C-alpha cells in the first residue's frame, strides 16, 4: 500500500519539496529557485508559471536522485505564500505577473475603499483590516490600472491553488487562504455576495471553497510526466504556508503556538473561537474547526539573509551565528528595526523601513548580526503582547523555519519573549504540514491529532534566561520608542 506523502511549498524565493514516511521521517528533499521582480517602488511580483516550472524541476530531480518509486506516493499536498492574485482567463492562462504578499501598490485603493465603506464594515466580515498586501485590493488594482486583465479574468487563484490547478486541472480555493479577501466571511468560511458587490469584485472570480485536506483531483497525465510522478496520484487542496508550517510544528490544539522563522517572522496561536483583532491577522487553520490568530512581520530570516548578502557575503549562516554569540546581549546598544519591506502586524505601515540605531566606530559585525537577530525577536514580542491583550496568551512556542537551526537566535527569542521555545525534530515543518494534509485526505492518518502525534517530535528546548531578559527588557523599551520617533520621517 502506498503510504509516502509528498509536500510542496511555494515560497517567495524558491519552492521546496519533500517526501515523508507516515512517521514524519524525511525520505527525500528538493528545491528550485525562481526570481522576484521589483519593477517599481512598492511593487513585488512573480510569474506563477515560474513556480510551476520550479516545482516540476524540483520534484523530478528529487524523485530521480533518490530512487523513489512514484507508485509509493499516496498523496500530494501543496502550501503557498499568502495573498496572491493570480488572474486566469477562460483557458486557464495566466494573464499577468501576480503581486505577492510584500507588494504595496494598492495602498491608495485600500484608503479609498475604507473611506467609502467604513472600517467597521470591512473588518466586521473578514476580521482583518484593509491592507495593500491582501488579495482583494490587488484585484481592484487590476480593474483601475490593467482593465484588459480585469476584463479577461475568469478566476483569481492563490499560489497553492494555482499549482493544484496545474497538477489536476481543478480550480479551487482552500479555506485557509480566504482571509486575504474582504468578501470572505471569517465566521462561516464562505463568500459573501453582498460584500463582493460592495467591493466591486465579480463573484465569478472566486472559486468554490474547500477544506484544505480535501482531495480535489488527481494528477493528470501531462502533470505526471512533467513531475516524474504517477498519473492519478491524489492531490488535496492544500493551504497557506504559515498555517501548514503551524501544522507541521504540531500545533493543532487551542492555545498551542507556532513561532515563524522563515523569510518572514511572526507567530500563530491556535484558537477554537472567532477572535479578531485589528492589529493582528485572523485566518482559518488548515485543521478544521480552528482559527489562527497571527502576527506576521516582514523582517524574519530574510533580514539576516539581506545582511549576509550585503555585509557578510563570505560568511555562512552558521558563521554569522557564531559571531552573534560572541557579541554581548543588547549588541552594545545597537538596535535594529526589521521593517525591510514595510511592516505588517501590529504596525501595518507599508512605508515603515529598516533602521540600525546606535552605530559608532566601535561597532563590530558580530554586534550588527546580533542586533538583527534581536530586532526580529523584539518584533515577535510585540506581536505576542498584542495577542495577549486580545485575550490569546502564548506560554510555549513551537519554532519552525531556517532560523530555528540557529541556537543563539532561538535562545535570544526565548530571552526576549520570556517564552519557552520547543524546536521539533524536523526543520521541514512547512512541507511536512502540506504532506500531513495529503495524509489526512487520503486516509493515511485518521485525524490531525493523530498525524501530529506520529510525525512531530521535539528535539531541543530553550528556556528563558532571567538575567538576559532583564537586558532585553531595556532593549525592547528602546525598540518600542524608536518607531514612533521615526514614523513621520518614514513617510
CATH number for region 4-240: 3.30.420.40
CATH 3.50.30.30 describes domain 241-424+457-491 = no
For the chain, the structural domain boundaries read 4-240, 241-424+457-491
| Residue 110 pLDDT class (50, 70, 90 cuts) | very high
| Residue 261 pLDDT class (50, 70, 90 cuts) | confident
Instruction: Report the pLDDT averaged over residues 201-216.
Output: 98
What pLDDT does residue 123 have? 93
Give residue-wise pLDDT tens across range 140-172.
999 999 999 999 999 999 999 999 999 999 999
Give residue-wise pLDDT tens across range 331-369.
999 999 999 989 989 999 989 999 999 999 999 999 999
The three state secondary structure string of the chain is CCCEEEEEEECCCEEEEEEECCCCCEEEEEEEECCCECCCCCCCEECHHHHHHHHHHHHHHHHHHCCCCHHHEEEEEEEECCCCCEEECCCCCECCCEECCCCCCCHHHHHHHHHHHCHHHHHHHHCCCCCCCCHHHHHHHHHHHCHHHHHHCCEEECHHHHHHHHHHCCCCEEHHHHHHCCCEECCCCEECHHHHHHHCCCHHHCCCEECCCCEEEECCHHHHHHHCCCCCCEEECCEEHHHHHHHHCCCCCCCCEEEEECCCEEEEEEECCCCCCCCCEEEECCCCCCEEEEEEECCCHHHHHHHHHHHCCCCCHHHHHHHHHHCCCCHHHCEEECCECEECCCCCECCCCCEEECCCCCCCHHHHHHHHHHHHHHHHHHHHHHHHHCCCCCCEEEEECHHHHCHHHHHHHHHHHCCEEEEECCCCHHHHHHHHHHHHHHCCCCCHHHHHHHHCCEEEEECCCHHHHHHHHHHHHHHHHHHHHHHHHHC
Give residue-wise pLDDT tens across range 356-413.
999 999 999 999 999 999 999 999 999 999 999 988 889 899 999 889 999 999 999 9
Whether the pLDDT of residue 426 is over 70: the answer is: no
pLDDT, the chain, mean? 95
Whether the pLDDT of residue 1 is over 70: the answer is: no
Amino acid at each position: 500500500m502506498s503510504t509516502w506523502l509528498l509536500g510542496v511549498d511555494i515560497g517567495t524565493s524558491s519552492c521546496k519539496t519533500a517526501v515523508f514516511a507516515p512517521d514524519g521521517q524525511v525520505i527525500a528533499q528538493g528545491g528550485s529557485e525562481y526570481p522576484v521582480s521589483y519593477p517599481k517602488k512598492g511593487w513585488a511580483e512573480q510569474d506563477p508559471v515560474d513556480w510551476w516550472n520550479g516545482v516540476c524541476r524540483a520534484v523530478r530531480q528529487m524523485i530521480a536522485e533518490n530512487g523513489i518509486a512514484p507508485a509509493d506516493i499516496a498523496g500530494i499536498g501543496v502550501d503557498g505564500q499568502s495573498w496572491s492574485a493570480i488572474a486566469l482567463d477562460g483557458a486557464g492562462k495566466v494573464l499577468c505577473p501576480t503581486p505577492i504578499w510584500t507588494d504595496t501598490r494598492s495602498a491608495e485603493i485600500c484608503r479609498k475603499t475604507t473611506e467609502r465603506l467604513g472600517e467597521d464594515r470591512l473588518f466586521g466580515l473578514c476580521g482583518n483590516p484593509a491592507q495593500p498586501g491582501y488579495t482583494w485590493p490587488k484585484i481592484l488594482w487590476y480593474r483601475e490600472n490593467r482593465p484588459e486583465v480585469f476584463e479577461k479574468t475568469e478566476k483569481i487563484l492563490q499560489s497553492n491553488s494555482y499549482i493544484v490547478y496545474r497538477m489536476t486541472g481543478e480550480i479551487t480555493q482552500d479555506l485557509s487562504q480566504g482571509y486575504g479577501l474582504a468578501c470572505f466571511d471569517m465566521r462561516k468560511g464562505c463568500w459573501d455576495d453582498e460584500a463582493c458587490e460592495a467591493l466591486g469584485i465579480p463573484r465569478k472570480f472566486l472559486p468554490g471553497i474547500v477544506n484544505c485536506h480535501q482531495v480535489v483531483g488527481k494528477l493528470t497525465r501531462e502533470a505526471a510526466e512533467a513531475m516524474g510522478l504517477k498519473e492519478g496520484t491524489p492531490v488535496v487542496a492544500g493551504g497557506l504556508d504559515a498555517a501548514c508550517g503551524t501544522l507541521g510544528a504540531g500545533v493543532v490544539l487551542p492555545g498551542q503556538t507556532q513561532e515563524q522563522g522563515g523569510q518572514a517572522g511572526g507567530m500563530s496561536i491556535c484558537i477554537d473561537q472567532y477572535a479578531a483583532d485589528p492589529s493582528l491577522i485572523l485566518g482559518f487553520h488548515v485543521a478544521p474547526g480552528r482559527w489562527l490568530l497571527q502576527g506576521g512581520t516582514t523582517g524574519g530570516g530574510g533580514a539576516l539573509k539581506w545582511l549576509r548578502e550585503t555585509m557578510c557575503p563570505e560568511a555562512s549562516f552558521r558563521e554569522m551565528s557564531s559571531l552573534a554569540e560572541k557579541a554581548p546581549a543588547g549588541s552594545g546598544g545597537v538596535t535594529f528595526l526589521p521593517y525591510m519591506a514595510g511592516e505588517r502586524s501590529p504596525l501595518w505601515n507599508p512605508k515603515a523601513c529598516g533602521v540600525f540605531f546606535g552605530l559608532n566606530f566601535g561597532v563590530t559585525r558580530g554586534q550588527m548580526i546580533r542586533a538583527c537577530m534581536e530586532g526580529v525577536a523584539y518584533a515577535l514580542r510585540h506581536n505576542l503582547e498584542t495577542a495577549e491583550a486580545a485575550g490569546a496568551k502564548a506560554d510555549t512556542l513551537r519554532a519552525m523555519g531556517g532560523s530555528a537551526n540557529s541556537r543563539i537566535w532561538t535562545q535570544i527569542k526565548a530571552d526576549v519573549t520570556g517564552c519557552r521555545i520547543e524546536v521539533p525534530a524536523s526543520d521541514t515543518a512547512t512541507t511536512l504540514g502540506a504532506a500531513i494534509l495529503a495524509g489526512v485526505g487520503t486516509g493515511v492518518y485518521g485525524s490531525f491529532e493523530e498525524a501530529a502525534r506520529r510525525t512531530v517530535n521535539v528535539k531541543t528546548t530553550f528556556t528563558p534566561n532571567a538575567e538576559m531578559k532583564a537586558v532585553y527588557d531595556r532593549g525592547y523599551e528602546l525598540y518600542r520608542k524608536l518607531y514612533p520617533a521615526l514614523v513621520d520621517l518614514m513617510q
